[in-house]
Amino acid sequence: MTEEPAESYPRQRARTRGFRLGAPRSFVPSPDGRRIAFLRSRAGDDPLTCLWVLDLEGDDIEGHTATERCVVDPRDLLADEEDLPDEERARRERLREVSGGITDYSVDREARVAVFALSGVPYAVRLDDSAAVPTRLQAPGPVVDPRADPTGAKAAYVSDRGLYVAPLVGGAAMALCQPETDAQSWGLADFIAAEELDRVRGYWWLSDGSGLLVERCDEDAVATWWIADPAHPERPAQSHRYPAAGTDNAEVSLWLVRLDEDGEVERTDVAWDRAEYPYLAQVSVSRAGAPVIAVLSRDQRRELIVEVDPETAETTILRERRDPEWIDVVPGSPVRAPSGAVLEVVADRDVDTYRLVCDDVPLTPPGLQVEAILDAGGDDVLIVASDVPTSTSAYRVTYSGEVSRVHGDGMMTARRSGATLVASSTALGTTATSVDVWRDGTRLATIPSHAETPIISPRVRLLTTGDRSLRTAVLFPAGHVPGSRRLPVIMSPYGGPHARRVVESGLSYGTDQWLADQGYCVVVADGRGTPGRGPAWDRAVKGDLATPALEDQVAALAGVAAAFPDDVDTGRVGIRGWSFGGYLAALAVLRRPDVFHAAVAGAPVTEWRLYDTAYTERYLGDPRVEQAAYDASSLLPLAGQLRRPLLIIHGLADDNVVVAHTLQLSSALLAAGRPHAVLPLTGVTHMTPQEVVAENLLRAEVDFFGHYLGSDATAG
């Protein structure tokens, strides 16, 4: 095995939470261009995130200066990360948040004041005053998701499943909406919205601060599942409302809540056909016109874009979309342009492209896959898009259809307000993320990252393999001499919808390089269904989540073997993955033992009838109707076919892919007399942020593959 420094890569990766600690994020430029708020912890191993401001002083570019200051350090407020409301823990799980401290904040329209919560306590702080200190807001109990109103006079928050509003300067909190039953909540995103529809908010201020649009969620019809900790039998199991495929969803409605001058609260139901369109996918409020919402049918083949009158809550249908497979939920879409026109990202099936459209007129060209709308300005729209599947860039798109790429390469995103743009990017040749502030084409400042640099440097070769031009990354051990020896292979995919693994970002391959350094050729491949290739590619998995994903891993392996015939040993192939990747790893050794010789399946979905409604029904349909599709994608009927080593890892506290998936597969394997191993992780959710767990999981995988595949740790 390759000699490692005093601290191993697995320990460093675990200690730094995947090198995310210390990296700046959540940028909010002020409209006047004088400051940029952002979050960052003080060091690469510091889990407590602070609120910072970068002050941009000077009236012209040549004479400007940029200085940063820490506005709030959680330590100064004695934050206790163990004392969090259950709703906050759930929010962080849905967001896959690995840090603590200030993990989110909101600002008023001018970005002069910020509102945040620490240990369930709401605070407000001035951002335009360097001497300002945080002010604690009145609250009836622990709160979650506090948000400043656009005028900067008050804030709303959720406490005990009810919505409250409190002034930022003195005064008591006032209840706006209170739940009537234990199954009801106001102002919180429902589970499906947060987990599958990319919507983690449950209320939105109107643009003038006179009221809010508020989600009411009633989970009475949703089945109650129980999440237990068998390592502590004295503790009661936690109830969890989980809408499994084919079962009842929560009842979600939207309400206009207005505040009059006398403090009276008026609530009006925002009406649409909720029986036909039960999913509230997006809510967008702007100063350009009435709010717009996007609602989806349960099969997600139909979408309505609806305008909501901010005075009366009356609704008007603006658009109706249909797709024979499904409608895509795209971040930032729909939104109003300053003119009042409606901007959307739609799947143009004629040219196989996700395109930005303005009142149904396409603004972006065929072949440029639009992935998000970031900002709708007066002159142009800022979007994230890709012209090749392995990278994303920020683009400016004028309302006449002129498209230009913003600075940066590799994987890039941006945030803009007025003329100030903050661009964050990472490239293939580095593990560092660059954050630059631009104005009028000139770089004003760089926001430094305190994230640690990995002790290993990934050496990635990107290939395009096979008839389907599969994007594939290949990593060999450090110092490997081409043709000197044939190495066993570890495939390391995700392989499913919503996540690409083959990207032009060195930081994405740290774990893969460490695995390669243990004496393997590591192969990462994105197959059909993964993002970045257009609507037809995405929809190739409709009705079958198993066959296309597995076929493409087999094809990618063949492509790598053809490209490096003297460097890979296809007689010793392992496969590993987590979540969908765990499903794919287990599927590989069950269906194709002729190709795959050992597998590590982390938190795998094994029976799609146990997974949630929106995700599963989008791809496989209603299980009461499409039984054959569910049977064909399930691992349970394949249990009797196992004849390769399989290690299954699962967190017992997972409320997304519940541990029943692993237990049912293990039971089926045992009933079929098929040996296998199960590694249960007590107290661990779908994430594994605990340092000891995260470190030793990687070591357990290497030991497993070393035992069953061998390795060539002496590779040059």
Q: Render pLDDT for 498-545 as a digit per residue (tens, 0 to 9).
A: 999 999 999 999 999 999 999 999 999 999 999 999 999 999 999 999
CA distances from 340 to 304, 371, 378 (A): 18, 22, 11
558 closest CA partner among 549, 546, 548, 568 = 568
Do residue 66 and residue 199 come from a single domain? no
**Rg, C-alpha atoms of the chain:** 25
**pLDDT-based confidence at 690, cuts 50/70/90?**
low
Contacts of 377 (CB under 8 A, 6+ apart): 338, 416
Contacts of 30 (CB under 8 A, 6+ apart): 36, 37, 110, 111, 112, 127, 128, 417, 418, 420
63 pLDDT more than 60: no
149 closest CA partner among 109, 104, 201 = 109
Residue ending a domain, choose from 154, 175, 196: 175
DSSP code of 309? Answer: -
Residue ending a domain, choose from 175, 201, 234: 175
> What is the structure's pLDDT at 507?
92
Q: How many domains does the chain have?
A: 3
Please answer whether residues 237 and 228 qualify as being in contact, where contact means their C-beta atoms are separated by less than 8 angstroms.
Answer: yes
711 pLDDT more than 90: no
Average pLDDT value for residue range 4-20? 85
Do residue 84 and residue 71 come from a single domain? yes
Do residue 290 and residue 157 come from a single domain? no
Q: Render pLDDT for 232-256 as a digit per residue (tens, 0 to 9).
A: 899 999 999 999 999 999 999 999 9
Average pLDDT value for residue range 328-343? 96
Please answer whether residues 433 and 425 qualify as being in contact, where contact means their C-beta atoms are separated by less than 8 angstroms.
Answer: yes
Do residue 221 and residue 129 come from a single domain? no
Please answer whether residues 494 and 579 qualify as being in contact, where contact means their C-beta atoms are separated by less than 8 angstroms.
Answer: yes
Q: Does a structural domain hold residue 445?
A: no
Question: Strands (DSSP E) along 108-262, which ranges?
Answer: 113-118, 121-126, 135-136, 144-148, 154-159, 162-167, 174-177, 184-186, 203-205, 211-218, 224-227, 238-241, 251-259
Q: Render pLDDT for 272-289 as a digit per residue (tens, 0 to 9).
A: 999 999 999 999 999 888
DSSP code of 522? Answer: E
Q: Does a structural domain hold residue 381?
A: no
Q: Render pLDDT for 369-379 as a digit per residue (tens, 0 to 9).
A: 999 999 999 99
639 closest CA partner among 590, 577, 702 = 590
Q: Does a structural domain hold residue 354?
A: no
408 pLDDT more than 80: no
Do residue 272 and residue 162 come from a single domain? no
Q: What are phi and psi of 507, to 5 degrees?
A: -65, -25
Residue ending a domain, choose from 328, 356, 374: 328
What spatial distance separates the first Cα and last Cα of the chain, rounded to whole Å? 11
Q: Does a structural domain hold residue 441?
A: no
2 pLDDT more than 50: no
CATH of the domain at 599: 3.40.50.1820
Do residue 104 and residue 243 come from a single domain? no
Among 89-98, 251-260, 323-332, 656-665, where is mean pLDDT lowest? 89-98
Q: Render pLDDT for 626-677 as a digit per residue (tens, 0 to 9).
A: 999 999 999 999 999 999 999 999 999 999 999 999 999 999 999 999 999 9
| Cα–Cα distance, 104 to 146 (Å, whole number) | 9
> What is the structure's pLDDT at 689?
61
CATH of the domain at 205: 2.140.10.30
Do residue 497 and residue 612 come from a single domain? yes
State the sign of the Cα–Cα–Cα–Cα dihedral 61, 64, 68, 72.
negative
Average pLDDT value for residue range 208-230? 95
* Three-class SS state of 580: helix
**pLDDT-based confidence at 111, cuts 50/70/90?**
very high
Instruction: Tell me the DSSP string of 621-647.
Output: --TTT-HHHHHHH-SGGGGGG--S-EE
Among 88-97, 172-181, 693-702, where is mean pLDDT lowest? 88-97
Q: Does a structural domain hold residue 380?
A: no
Burial class (CB in 10 A: 0-12, 13-18, 19+), 429: middle
Residue with tokens 């072949």, as numbered in its chain: 367
Here the tokens at position 674 are 């098929």
Domain interval for residue 86: 21-175
Most confident region among 45-59, 79-93, 230-244, 574-588 by mean pLDDT: 574-588
Do residue 128 and residue 203 come from a single domain? no
Do residue 107 and residue 202 come from a single domain? no
Q: Does a structural domain hold residue 446?
A: no
Do residue 465 and residue 574 come from a single domain? yes
Q: Does a structural domain hold residue 341?
A: no
94 pLDDT more than 90: no
242 closest CA partner among 687, 661, 666 = 661
What's the one-letter identity of residue 146?
A: P
Do residue 532 and residue 518 come from a single domain? yes
Q: Does a structural domain hold residue 420?
A: no
Do residue 533 and residue 586 come from a single domain? yes
